[in-house]
Structure 1
Amino acid sequence: MTSQGGTRKDQHVDLARAQHVQGPARNDFDEVRFVHHALAGIDRDRVDVSTSFAGFQWSVPLYINGMTGGSVRTGEINRQLAIAARETGVAIASGSMSIALREPDTAATFRVLREENPDGFVLANLSADATGEQALRAIDLVRADALQIHLNSVQETVMPEGSRAFSAWPDRIAEIVDRVEVPVVVKEVGFGLSRTTLEQLADLGVHVADVSGQGGTDFARIENARRAENDYAFMAGWGQSAASCLLDAQAAVDGGSAIPALLASGGVRTPLDVVRALALGARAAGVSGTFLHSLLDEGLEGLIARIRAWIGQIEQLHALLGAATPAGLVGTDLLLSGAVREFCDLRGIDAAAYSRRSDRGLRDQEGRG
């Protein structure tokens, strides 16, 4: 029989899928546009999209982000996602494994991520309520290369059975960082990480953070749909987008603060969104809802084909923009508009400067000439 926790996992899949179909296609990534320079392009065979940071070595700046696990149905989803990761060479993160620690008979629904992908890069996943001992158990369960710790205070606030105690999280994160030997990635679940939070994480010893912004799957909406009264509808849309978080993070760096290396997720719908995230300073972009929707609609082979197509398109966009590597995208010119521009204005970020980032590169070329 499916446990109460497993039933909740199945509900999350159904509600996330419905949200993906019904929700608005537009998000803040659309407010980030590249200035087109018609002579900037390079040959595609010069492009190398591999990315390295904080002990991570990935062949592409793309990963399947944490989704699910904990029931028979979600275990099968994890199995197919693991196969897709294996066949395409992308990293993959588990959904929250807390249920596997409470209910050992669900462990197989997570272990399958490693069984089907024995040589791939796999991230375990736990909440910030976890202890160092629990973190070690989760890592061991999937022989993880890294551990995600998710921050979900908004989700817990709306969740009928959610936690109402968050003050211990910083100490728990510090304990986990101290106890485990693999890299720790702290991520939001779709509400964004501010520059203040990123600075706090750096102080706690965290070297990688996934800003996981608003604009993709909205767990406040999901949990409100599970409430009999639907009385937290006002929480829909809470938080900052991934694009805004990345801009906020750069402002922290420009101000002299140390922050973790950044990953970006939340509303990544296309290869162009991946490249936008990289241009804003992310080392890689994570995808959940779009790939889950693809798997459920198109099947495993369809998802594999989609990920392979994305990788090729990411490479081609690099060539179009004249960036031989993901790091090269940080020098491209960006036009920031709409809500993203408003965020910059209110947070004291010079949005116009992003439209002139290539000027320095052009001056350097003229100087060398």
Structure 2
Amino acid sequence: MSRAKRKLDHIEHALETGQSRASGFDDIQFIHRTFPDISVEEVSLSTDIGGLNLSSPIFINAMTGGGGKDTEVINRQLAQISNAFNIPMAVGSQMSALKDKNEMDSYKVVRQYHPKGLVFANVGSEATTDQAKLCVNMLEADALQIHMNVIQELVMPEGDRDFTGALTRIEQIVKSSEVPVIVKEVGFGMSRETVYQLKEIGVNFVDIGGFGGTNFSLIENARRTRRMAFFDQWGIPTAAAIAEAKAVSGPVHVLATGGIQNAFDISKALALGAEAAGMAGRVLKWLNEEGEEQTIQQINDLLEDLTMIMAALGARNIKELQKVPFILTGEIKNWLTERHIDTALFANRHI
């Protein structure tokens, strides 16, 4: 099967499999504040993440590219949506364009229709430093995502089977890159041990890509004759992965992705300590079922909802939202307790 056909299969199966509510955000309950002492007009969604200035803590995360005209159309629409809100957008893995120059347009279209916004290039951990630079230059990108997708590769019939040396290659890219490097998981979550390893090699940005969103084990299993069903429930829930990452001391900026479906999920991800929240599967579903204009309306509603939630919590900005108290229950509390992460600290803090 060609790489381009595989890219289109991924889109089709992503829409079919959808997202679960297994990201863990339902185990978080904010402590109501009767006197928030704030006006809605005081709430600001703008934020700065390690020098990257965002108009809101939302970005459209990596989805596609490299599947010919079909994925070019999707990326054009996503770029236009990102441009409407001046929010960052990441492209899917650009390895297809490195192997076939005819696929470059399916990625370049993003910069064409999002000319002044933040754009994230994307490569796998198998990339060389030269390949990483080519991908950044292809998009005039503001940052580079390096995705880790071990489980997807293992389930993928034609996937990689050798994962040795990934940290060393990432370290080389970090040292040579002229833009920030974001290491991201693709739906299986990051542990604090993983984040610590990345911090030790100079990575300052992680996208924890937790379990609960687009499930690449389900997607690849749909393409197999013999399923590896044991990987379908494999991973760290998004909420737990954020807390794991924040348990690592030091200047690591945490981006949250994985099953984020609405403003309530975003507010909880930020309260856990994430600095931005990315959406992919939900935006793709809106775009496929409702079209570009309605997707813009959906995101506009989402930003309005986030503003209202922050007002209710008395949080004037994202930094204050990261300090609001909440209670953890259920599986996420159990997970963090077993990992010796003190959940009582979340319940007893204040702005």
Give the TM-score of the pair, scaled to structure 1.
Answer: 0.92
Aligned residue among 154, 161, 164 for 1:164: 161
Query: Cα deviation per residue 1:241-285 (whole Å; 9 max; x = unaligned)?
Result: 1210111123223xxxx2521000001000111111110001100
Aligned residue among 46, 65, 73 for 2:42: 46
CA distance in 2, matches of 1:144, 1:27: 29
Aligned residue among 235, 257, 274 for 1:282: 274
CA distance in 2, matches of 1:9, 1:30: 32
Query: Cα deviation per residue 1:130-174 (whole Å; 9 max; x = unaligned)?
Result: 000000100111110100000111111111111111121111101
Matched, 1:324 2:316: yes
Matched, 1:214 2:211: yes
Q: Which secondary structure does the structure 1 equivalent of 2:160 belong to?
A: coil
Matched, 1:300 2:292: yes
Whether the 8 Å CA contact 2:188–2:210 is kept in 1: the answer is yes
Once the two structures are superposed, the pairs formed by residues 11-90 of structure 1 within 5 Å of their partners are 11-20=9-18, 24-25=20-21, 27-71=23-67, 72-90=69-87
Identity, % of aligned positions: 39
CA distance in 2, matches of 1:250, 1:97: 29
Query: Cα deviation per residue 1:27-75 (whole Å; 9 max; x = unaligned)?
Result: 4111111111221251111111111122211010000000001122111
Match of 1:126 in 2: 123
Give 2:142's aligned amino acid. Answer: D
Give 1:38's aligned amino acid. Answer: T
Matched, 1:341 2:333: yes
Q: Which secondary structure does the structure 1 equivalent of 2:322 belong to?
A: helix
Give the unaligned 5+ runs of structure 1: 362-369
CA distance in 1, matches of 2:222, 2:285: 19
Aligned residue among 219, 229, 248 for 2:244: 248
Q: Which secondary structure does the structure 2 equivalent of 1:252 belong to?
A: coil
Aligned residue among 337, 340, 355 for 2:347: 355
Q: CA RMSD in A?
A: 1.2
Give the TM-score of the pair, scaled to structure 2.
Answer: 0.97
Distance 1:316 1:100, change over 3 A: same
Whether the 8 Å CA contact 1:70–1:99 is kept in 2: the answer is yes
Match of 2:190 in 1: 193
Q: Which secondary structure does the structure 1 equivalent of 2:203 belong to?
A: coil
Q: Which secondary structure does the structure 2 equivalent of 1:331 belong to?
A: coil
Q: What's the CA shift for 1:353?
A: 2.7
Q: What's the CA shift for 1:179?
A: 1.4
CA distance in 2, matches of 1:41, 1:336: 25
Give 1:51's aligned amino acid. Answer: T
Match of 1:184 in 2: 181
CA distance in 2, matches of 1:218, 1:134: 27
Higher-helix-fraction structure? 1
Runs of 4+ residues over 2 Å off in structure 1:
23-27, 249-253
Match of 1:311 in 2: 303
CA distance in 1, matches of 2:71, 2:221: 21
Give the unaligned 5+ runs of structure 2: none
